[in-house]
Structure 1
Amino acid sequence: MTSHTSNTPSNERSGPPLSRRAFSTAVGATAAAAAVGAQTAPASAASASAPGGAPGERPFRAALGKHARRPNILFILGDDLGWADLSSYGAPHIRTPHLDKLGRQGVRFTDAYSGSATCSPTRFSLYTGRYPGRTKGGLAEPIADRSVGLEPTHPTLASLLRGAGYATALIGKWHCGYLPDYSPTRSGWDEFFGNFGGALEYYSKLGLGGEYDLYEGDAEYKDLRYYTRILTERASEYVQRDHHKPWLLNLNFTTPHWPWIADGDTEASAEIVRRIKAGDRSALWHADGGSVEKYKEMVEDLDRSVGEVLKALKRSGQEEDTLVFFASDNGGERFSYNWPLSGNKSSLQEGGIRVPSLLRWPARIDGHQVSDVPVYSPDWTATLLELGGARPDPAHPLDGVSLAGYLLRGEVPEERDLFWRVRGERALRRGDWKYYRGKGGADQLFNLADDRREQADRAAAEPERLAGLRAAWERTDSGLLPYPTGS
């Protein structure tokens, strides 16, 4: 893939191939495990001479001979966090020192995407490693009632890793179906503490329908403190346990999703609760509340919360052997800072699907790296399964590709298509080129290397390229479930 430097601090290096360390542990007899344990290739000349280095930067190397083990996995999601809402991605008014540090200690991805443009379809793509349109529940954009969910019979990241010997837990927002039929504990997670729905009021835990929505396992759990504080405490406790096996923790914050309530905003909370109890089904949308400053406060609180969990991980002595990944579930909303991208959450323009993404694994991956390789949610499923020695279910083939070879063995990723579909919009990225059709119905073509803002439509100038990308999109779409009639 073509590499382009973008928003790269002077002490970070951009573009493939990444610096990586050897991963040579025996992780079982599966084919996936054998691939992970392959001989590490030496760093390429291109890697060794990549521009943009600074004095004191860690050298490109493969740390051969070091003890190796399957990583613990801490996978953190923010909720509706925009691509440029972190200071390391360009936010001029938001300070996120803990997340910025996480990126400096590993890899910051500039061209990483969510699996869809809204909450639950992206979670389907991450948990299954497949396009949301492969399953009935993934067609809801997002899930808003009890009619659909992630079928317990469908293999997931958690169920496959659990089968390979991992302990699994999900703390925070599930949003892949409601009780009694759907739950994380029915889909491979040993433990669940969090909310089932797409949004809740941060203190009362009341959801969109006025229902109470905080659970431990499948039972209601009463705690009326600020939700982000509760999730941070729970996650910190989990990572500090005396684990006797590798573990997966999906930590899904609701911050900075509406309603726009920061820690301490008890008066605003009480007003929203009053409206919910009076039957106002739109109260949680908080259309008459929030501000850029309130949003800043929430994002910075998310940053502090992640920092607390990472400090707990360090105290536990597991930091070196834990892979930490942070991203957003989709693009930003009303108060998000997305410049220079166009569009927001729910759109397949870049601002709706390009998300901040950070990865750290001290034992295997060098820090101060920037990658502009296009990647998205299903890829992380495939990658984590390979690193954990878990074999994907052949009856449910993955749509993502493992990045383990890129991250750890110096393999240059092959160019492939990234595909998205939502009601009324379609998009496909191949290399630097993106095919997009919005709700207006016109096919457009953009070169994202030159035009991340998607303003210079190259459709008329490149008709053959446009036709080829459109045909590729339609081939993939033909293998997916159709949207319900009238939706």
Structure 2
Amino acid sequence: MRRKLIALLFLAALCARAGTPANRPNILLIISDDHAWTDYSFLGHPHIQTPNLDRLAREGVTFSRGYVPASLCCPSLASIITGRYPHQHQITSNDPPKPAALTPAEFYRSAAFTEGRAVMNRHLEALPTLPRVLRDAGYLSLQTGKWWQGHYRHGGFTHGMTQGGRHGDDGLDIGRKTMQPIFDFIATAQAQLKPFFIWYAPLMPHDPHTPPERLLRKYTARSPSLHVARYWAMVEWFDETVGELLRHLDQRDLAQDTLVLYLADNGWIQSPDNPRYAPKSKQSPYDGGLRTPIIMRWPGQVRPRQSRNLAMSIDLMPTLRAILALPPDPSLPGINLLDPKALKARKAIFGECFTHNAVDLFRPAANLRWRWMIAGDWKLIVPDPANEPRAAVELYHLGRDSHENFNLAPQQAARVARLRAQLNAWWDPAREPQTVKEQQAPLGEGRP
């Protein structure tokens, strides 16, 4: 009897390993929130320590020139989960239009807010999100942390924490208060012999900047102000939670079978004078709001290296489809980041920034503030005349001016014209219909 039991346990262990073959790895997606591209020790920050993210960068492929298309949380996260630009998935803003007569507090309690968020949720339900694609491939999926689209099932997750609050409710406990829901979910997936997908998007280092006192003490003497010290300490606190996840994978003998992905949803440059962000940061078209390292670690499958190729958050969906040997989706604008030919063929990347509150939930152009593009080291920023009437066209050479201090557009009119033609060929909001009726998402592929 004892031998039979040992044999059964051995067989179960083999089956557990067999549940994650080379083209069906577990997937852990780590998304930091309001985190500047400069604020990692592996990218040379002189004070902030991020040993666990450093480990990921060392053990995986790191795209140091990674970007999100929009520098605002809700549209950026929607682009990550759909693999599409905001003007394609139509979730361009954090919140729906706010009636002028309402204060923000009144608005969040109003029918206008509830109905507007329902429209935004339907935009997401109409698309094949990453959890839906993975569900059809046999995965269990878990939502934790930041999540703007109501109940976690609106995104196609099989499991989750958020029940319907504005941007996370119960899900925002992850990282700051507990990691246990993730560990429990991994145990559930293993018990069912299923590969898993985890969305780990804690409200970190996002404000409120309330780090443990031990970390705040560490950075207070090194920073120019208490506000900066709090933000720096939040970055290391987030990094510690990444370490908890990596250690759990090691302890469960899952590291070899798990693809770990990392990026930030948008940037943040801490103001030294107050708790808010500085200019050229979040909600801006500058690298301080848009740029992020993108890391992929999969031991034995992805060769560790540093890459200067341009990469985007919208590339994660086509990359994962390729890993799973799924048919390419020609409607996706991104590329497979593990395809050297695709990386070499990419000549430019594009993006767009929108108003915090939408003007029109069905017409992305009405919410537009800036479009931007990068070709080589050249970056063009084009303001929308309706929402940014006093802004000028801007051109920067990122190789010589990484913080975008010197606008070369007045001296480079011909280059601006060439790049602007490429930008218009990508998306020209002037050609968008002025009136768009809501289209109800069909039951089936798009909806959970």
Q: TM-score range by the shorter chain?
A: 0.7 to 0.9
1:350, 1:342 → 2: CA distance? Answer: 11
Q: Which residue of 1 aligns with 2:301?
A: 364
Mapped contact 1:157–1:385 kept (Cα < 8 A) = no
Cα deviation for residue 263 of structure 1 reads 4.3
2:178, 2:373 → 1: CA distance? Answer: 35
Q: Which residue of 1 aligns with 2:232?
A: 296
The superposition leaves residues 39-72 of structure 1 with CA deviations (integer Å, 9 ceiling, x where unpaired) of xxxxxxxxxxxxxxxxxxxxxxxxxxxx834221
Q: Which amino acid aligns with 1:424?
A: R
Mapped contact 1:380–1:402 kept (Cα < 8 A) = yes
The superposition leaves residues 342-398 of structure 1 with CA deviations (integer Å, 9 ceiling, x where unpaired) of 81000011111001332211121222x21111111101121112212334666xx11
Cα deviation for residue 482 of structure 1 reads 7.3
2:56, 2:432 → 1: CA distance? Answer: 38
Mapped contact 2:129–2:155 kept (Cα < 8 A) = yes
2:291, 2:205 → 1: CA distance? Answer: 17
Counterparts in 2 of 1:342 and 1:107: CA distance versus 1, 3 Å: farther
Which of residues 43, 48, 62 is equivalent to 1:89?
43
Q: Which residue of 2 aligns with 1:456?
A: 406
Counterparts in 2 of 1:330 and 1:171: CA distance versus 1, 3 Å: same
1:154, 1:410 → 2: CA distance? Answer: 24
Q: Which residue of 1 aligns with 2:159?
A: 191
Q: Which amino acid aligns with 1:364?
A: Q
Mapped contact 1:127–1:381 kept (Cα < 8 A) = yes
| Between 383-392 and 115-124, the greater mean CA deviation after superposition | 383-392
1:329, 1:379 → 2: CA distance? Answer: 14
1:372, 1:471 → 2: CA distance? Answer: 25
Matches within 5 A, 1:169-318: 169-175=142-148, 177-178=149-150, 183-194=151-162, 196-197=164-165, 213-214=169-170, 227-241=174-188, 242=190, 244-263=193-212, 291-318=227-254
Give structure 2 stretches of 5+ with no counterpart: 1-20, 97-107, 215-224, 273-277, 355-367, 437-448
The superposition leaves residues 436-485 of structure 1 with CA deviations (integer Å, 9 ceiling, x where unpaired) of 13544321222222221223333234322211211222233336867999
Query: Secondary structure in 2 aligned to 1:109?
Result: strand
2:178, 2:143 → 1: CA distance? Answer: 10
Query: Secondary structure in 2 aligned to 1:130?
Result: coil
Mapped contact 2:310–2:343 kept (Cα < 8 A) = no
Q: Which residue of 2 aligns with 1:427?
A: 372
Cα deviation for residue 311 of structure 1 reads 0.6
Counterparts in 2 of 1:302 and 1:258: CA distance versus 1, 3 Å: same
The superposition leaves residues 100-126 of structure 1 with CA deviations (integer Å, 9 ceiling, x where unpaired) of 111111122211011210100001111
1:292, 1:388 → 2: CA distance? Answer: 42
Q: Which amino acid aligns with 2:146?
A: K
The superposition leaves residues 156-192 of structure 1 with CA deviations (integer Å, 9 ceiling, x where unpaired) of 11111211222222111111x23xxxx3213321111
Which of residues 318, 322, 346 is equivalent to 1:386?
322
1:260, 1:389 → 2: CA distance? Answer: 42
1:159, 1:239 → 2: CA distance? Answer: 18
Structure 2 residue 89 is the aligned partner of structure 1 residue 139: no
Mapped contact 1:71–1:323 kept (Cα < 8 A) = yes
Q: Which amino acid aligns with 1:127?
A: I
The superposition leaves residues 385-441 of structure 1 with CA deviations (integer Å, 9 ceiling, x where unpaired) of 2212334666xx1121222313xx897343233232433222111222211135443
Counterparts in 2 of 1:290 and 1:158: CA distance versus 1, 3 Å: farther
Matches within 5 A, 1:144-163: 145-146=113-114, 147-148=116-117, 149-151=120-122, 152-163=125-136
Which of residues 251, 261, 278 is equivalent to 1:325?
261
Q: Which residue of 2 aligns with 1:412?
A: 344
1:355, 1:198 → 2: CA distance? Answer: 25
Q: Which residue of 1 aligns with 2:217?
A: none
2:73, 2:156 → 1: CA distance? Answer: 20
Counterparts in 2 of 1:342 and 1:403: CA distance versus 1, 3 Å: farther
Q: Which amino acid aligns with 1:234?
A: P
1:113, 1:472 → 2: CA distance? Answer: 18
Counterparts in 2 of 1:250 and 1:96: CA distance versus 1, 3 Å: same
Mapped contact 1:129–1:382 kept (Cα < 8 A) = yes
Query: Secondary structure in 1 aligned to 2:207?
Result: coil
2:315, 2:234 → 1: CA distance? Answer: 29
1:425, 1:353 → 2: CA distance? Answer: 12
Cα deviation for residue 90 of structure 1 reads 2.3
Count the aligned residue pairs: 360
What is the TM-score when the length of structure 2 is the normalising length?
0.73
Cα deviation for residue 333 of structure 1 reads 4.2
Structure 2 residue 376 is the aligned partner of structure 1 residue 442: no
Q: Which residue of 2 aligns with 1:19?
A: none
Q: Which amino acid aligns with 1:361?
A: W
Matches within 5 A, 1:59-138: 68-136=22-90, 138=91
Q: Which amino acid aligns with 1:433?
A: W
Cα deviation for residue 195 of structure 1 reads 6.8
Counterparts in 2 of 1:199 and 1:483: CA distance versus 1, 3 Å: farther
Counterparts in 2 of 1:430 and 1:483: CA distance versus 1, 3 Å: farther
The superposition leaves residues 281-330 of structure 1 with CA deviations (integer Å, 9 ceiling, x where unpaired) of xxxxxxxx972222222211111111001110111111112110111100
Q: Which residue of 1 aligns with 2:15?
A: none
Query: What is the root-mean-square deviation of aligned Cα atoms in Å?
Result: 3.0
